[in-house]
Amino acid sequence: MTFELADRVQTVPPSGIRRFFEIAEERDDVISLGVGEPDFATPWAARDAAIASLEQGKTSYTANRGKRELREAIADYVADRFELGYDPDEEIIVTAGASEAVDLAFRAFVDPGDTVAIAQPSYISYEPGVIFAGGEVLSVPTKQEDDFRLTVDALEDAGADEADMLVLCYPNNPTGAIMTKADLEPIADFAREHDLMVLSDEIYAELTYDGNEHTSIASLEGMRERTIVFNGFSKAHAMTGLRLGYALGPAEAIGAMNKIHQYTMLSAPTTAQHAALEALESCENDVREMVNQYDRRRQFVLSRFREIGMDVFEAKGAFYCFPEVPEGFTAEEFAEGVLREEGVAVVPGDVFGEGGEGHLRISYATGLDDLRQALARIEAFVDEHA
């Protein structure tokens, strides 16, 4: 039997990241700076809560939207940290990772033919998610000269005033860029003026440096009613494998997302919900210590790339930096060469969309010893090909 694949599936290429990991898996001497997940274990208090829930037999489904106690804790957390007010009964949904929340939003709000503007470089799942929902992607490239911040000029140049939706991710994967309140205000003005719905992926909200505090675009005037905020526990709480995220938004919007969620996922993993509740209640110090460690690594990696002679802007969020490749290389050539010759896995920036060409995504979510060795190998590769 020959399966007839849907056109929208055939048009989406395989992940550009996977090819480099497959090469890396063939060797046992590779240091990976490509993985977008913490190298820390989930804090013990959260693990203990998960273990206790299993020992007590708490393995049934929860409410579709998630345990109410967890939704209440999320509401308290986002109010305290980001000045966001959401009703735990009507305006919060707990999902199987923030990625499920993003997918639910695309399926709930994108009709065939709708145009979705995506600030790029960006997380690789946004564009396929739009295509799977039947939408059309409008790339909005950001520039290194703007520190990869989204600007009104970039939106206007891309024609985003004709779009139906805007997707942004700050702190940004893959660049490490952030946007301050002052940066976001003109974007909010643009969204209101052109009646854009906004999907704001804020999964790295806790990971900001140099004294910067995260601002959610949903906290700005007139934006709460047109914005869905995504967050979760994978990055700040080192819970990637537990697959738990959440979305915040107006009741009607969250209700639409829940309609899909209740048929496809039923509820987010119960054990992970117990871990997340404990993480919010008692793991603030663990998060702060992880952020401090990331900041030390960030400063080291940025300084070493500058010593090597590779131009890199001052990333101030997430756990990535985004250096330019030396002259004479494409990003893919450099990434493949440094992997094969020196055993360092990095990700070429062009897999993250327009604006990523000529750059590499470097994750510093790994120990300093490995970072020192990896940067020494990259330096040797650059010197060899200078």
Sheet containing strand 165-169, edge to edge, reads 92-95, 245-248, 227-232, 197-201, 165-169, 115-120, 136-141
Confidence of residue 11 (pLDDT cuts 50, 70, 90): confident
Q: Flag whether pLDDT at 14 surpasses 80.
A: no
The CATH number of the structural domain formed by 14-36+285-385 is 3.90.1150.10
CA distance 67 to 87: 14
> What per-residue confidence (pLDDT) applies to 27?
77
CATH pick for 44-282 out of 3.30.420.60, 3.40.640.10, 3.40.50.2300, 1.10.1060.10: 3.40.640.10
258 CB-near residues (< 8 Å, 6+ apart): 64, 65, 93
The token duo for 102 is 């993003």
Residue 23 has pLDDT above 80, yes or no: no
pLDDT score for 13:
80
Tell me the two tokens of residue 206.
């806790």
Q: Is 59 left (phi over 0), alpha (psi -120 to 50) or beta?
A: alpha
pLDDT of residue 249: 98
pLDDT(317) > 80: yes
pLDDT for residue 315 = 97
pLDDT of residue 335: 95
Residue recorded with tokens 């959260």: 46
User: 209-230 pLDDT, tens per residue?
Assistant: 999 999 999 999 999 999 999 9
pLDDT tens column, 93-118? 999 999 999 999 999 999 999 999 99
Confidence of residue 17 (pLDDT cuts 50, 70, 90): confident
The confidence score (pLDDT) of residue 126 equals 97
Segments making up each domain of the chain, as ranges: 14-36+285-385, 44-282
Please check whether residue 360 is in contact with residue 312, taking contact to mean a CB–CB distance below 8 angstroms. Answer: no
In angstroms, rounded to a whole number, what is the distance separating the alpha carbons of residues 373 and 192? 48
- Angle among Cα 164, 158, 358 to the nearest 5 degrees reads 125
Q: What percent of the chain has pLDDT over 70?
A: 99
Whether residue 278 has pLDDT greater than 80: yes
Average pLDDT over residues 288-301: 98
Q: Do domains 14-36+285-385 and 44-282 have the same CATH topology?
A: no
- What Cα–Cα distance (Å) separates residue 333 from each residue in 31, 339, 361, 379? 18, 10, 14, 16
Mean of all residue pLDDT scores within the chain: 96
The pLDDT value given to residue 8: 85
Three-class DSSP labels, 204-235: CCCCECCCCCCCCHHHCCCCHHHEEEEEECCC
Cβ neighbours of 162 (radius 10 Å): 11
pLDDT in tens, 372-384: 999 999 999 999 9
Provide the whole-model pTM: 0.96
Residue with the larger pLDDT of the pair 28 and 90? 90
